[in-house]
């Protein structure tokens, strides 16, 4: 009997399109699985919102980092300095506007917070531009040197922040209208956590629109997959990278303000401490994938909060366990974009 030879596919045979939604399902599965474990609906609601808020802030900070890696294979261990810078700028701006932040008026509170966020975004973006030019550009394509020099850059940056603001922790109290909680039945959800979720969703929405609906976004998505081909089509990937790096630094500055307000205190070391979480998130999500980064950040935020409540000792390494589990399942992360 002759072995059967598979027929060549027809020239116009339509491929089956099956969007990969399995990683997305992890979020509802995790949230629902935590419900019986937490023991009460109100505790579950509070923990879930806390996790989502934390995840959203981490996403804002990490989204630029994952694109920076995806576009140019640059591992920027200095990303944390932009977070710290953003947070300290917020203390400087809000510290001069205490009359407005202590007012019960939401409008006056927003009129204080928005300039603080704007200052953080602009200054972190400009510092990011200088960081790329002076520190990263000389070590393109040299991963080991990138790790060393970006870490060195962060150490220098943190020391400069200490020179300006001092080494001690500085309080960053929430504006008056952001304090307190909303009550949903017996469940208390802090107002600021709700705000963080809204801001995080807005950033994710804006980023999805830019990446999905504009030519620049298309170039970024293409560059993450195959930068050499993007250059062969006539586009200067280096310029695109600088733009993404500046945007990523600016977002880290914004995230620094959000994180500082979340913690209600800022320290020069805060960026370095969050750095570890950022790398866990972008590895879980798949290097270069913004969607994966979003899911990864929410998973990390939720697991940190659930584990902190259910098993505080496990909380110390719960995110590492999550990363190991994801990598055992999908070694390239939840959504593999970079094939190099």
For 138, counting Cβ atoms within 10 Å of its Cβ (0-12 exposed, 13-18 middle, 19+ buried), the class is: exposed
Site for another protein (CB under 8 A): which residue of 8, 144, 163, 328? 8
Site for another protein (CB under 8 A): which residue of 148, 236, 317, 320? 236
CB of 19 to another protein, least distance (A): 9
Site for another protein (CB under 8 A): which residue of 139, 151, 231, 315? 231
CB of 82 to another protein, least distance (A): 28
Site for another protein (CB under 8 A): which residue of 159, 167, 228, 317? 228
Using the contact rule CB under 8 A, the part of the chain among 64-72, 218-226, 264-272, 317-325 near another protein is 218-226
Q: Which residue has the tokens 């990263």?
A: 136
CB of 321 to another protein, least distance (A): 29
Using the contact rule CB under 8 A, the part of the chain among 4-12, 49-57, 139-147, 185-193 near another protein is 4-12
Comparing CB distances to another protein, the nearer of 9 and 185 is 9
If one asks whether residue 16 binds another protein (CB under 8 A), the answer comes out as yes
If one asks whether residue 328 binds another protein (CB under 8 A), the answer comes out as no
If one asks whether residue 226 binds another protein (CB under 8 A), the answer comes out as yes
If one asks whether residue 337 binds another protein (CB under 8 A), the answer comes out as yes
If one asks whether residue 11 binds another protein (CB under 8 A), the answer comes out as yes
If one asks whether residue 315 binds another protein (CB under 8 A), the answer comes out as no
If one asks whether residue 235 binds another protein (CB under 8 A), the answer comes out as yes
Site for another protein (CB under 8 A): which residue of 28, 215, 313, 331? 215
Contact set with another protein (CB under 8 A) = 8-9, 11-17, 214-215, 218-219, 221-222, 225-226, 228-237, 337, 339
């Amino acid at each position: 009997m002759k072995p059967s030879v598979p027929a060549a596919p027809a020239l116009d045979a339509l491929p089956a399109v099956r969007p990969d939604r399995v990683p997305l399902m992890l979020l509802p599965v995790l949230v629902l699985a935590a419900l019986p474990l937490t023991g009460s609906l109100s505790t579950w609601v509070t923990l879930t919102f806390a996790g989502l808020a934390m995840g959203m802030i981490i996403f804002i900070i990490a989204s630029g980092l994952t694109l920076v890696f995806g576009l140019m294979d640059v591992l920027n261990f200095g990303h944390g300095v932009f977070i710290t810078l953003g947070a300290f700028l917020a203390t400087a701006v809000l510290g001069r506007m205490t009359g407005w932040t202590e007012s019960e008026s939401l409008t006056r509170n927003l009129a204080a917070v928005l300039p603080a966020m704007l200052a953080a975004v602009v200054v972190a973006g400009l510092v990011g531009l200088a960081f790329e030019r002076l520190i990263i550009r000389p070590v393109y394509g040299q991963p080991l040197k990138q790790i060393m020099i970006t870490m060195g850059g962060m150490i220098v940056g943190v020391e400069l922040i200490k020179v300006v603001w001092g080494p001690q922790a500085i309080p960053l109290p929430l504006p008056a209208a952001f304090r307190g909680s909303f009550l949903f039945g017996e469940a208390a959800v802090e107002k600021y956590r709700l705000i963080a979720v809204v801001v995080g969703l807005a950033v994710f929405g804006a980023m999805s629109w830019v990446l999905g609906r504009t030519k620049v976004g298309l170039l970024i998505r293409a560059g993450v997959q195959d930068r050499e081909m993007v250059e062969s089509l006539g586009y200067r990937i280096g310029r695109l990278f600088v733009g993404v790096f500046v945007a990523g630094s600016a977002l880290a500055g914004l995230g620094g303000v959000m994180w500082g307000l979340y913690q209600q205190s800022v320290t020069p070391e805060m960026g370095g401490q969050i750095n570890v979480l950022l790398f866990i998130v972008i590895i879980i999500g798949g290097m270069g994938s913004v969607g994966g980064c979003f899911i990864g950040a929410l998973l990390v935020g939720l697991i940190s909060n659930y584990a902190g409540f259910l098993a505080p000792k496990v909380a110390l390494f719960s995110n590492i366990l999550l990363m190991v589990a994801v990598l055992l399942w999908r070694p390239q992360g939840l959504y593999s974009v970079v094939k190099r």
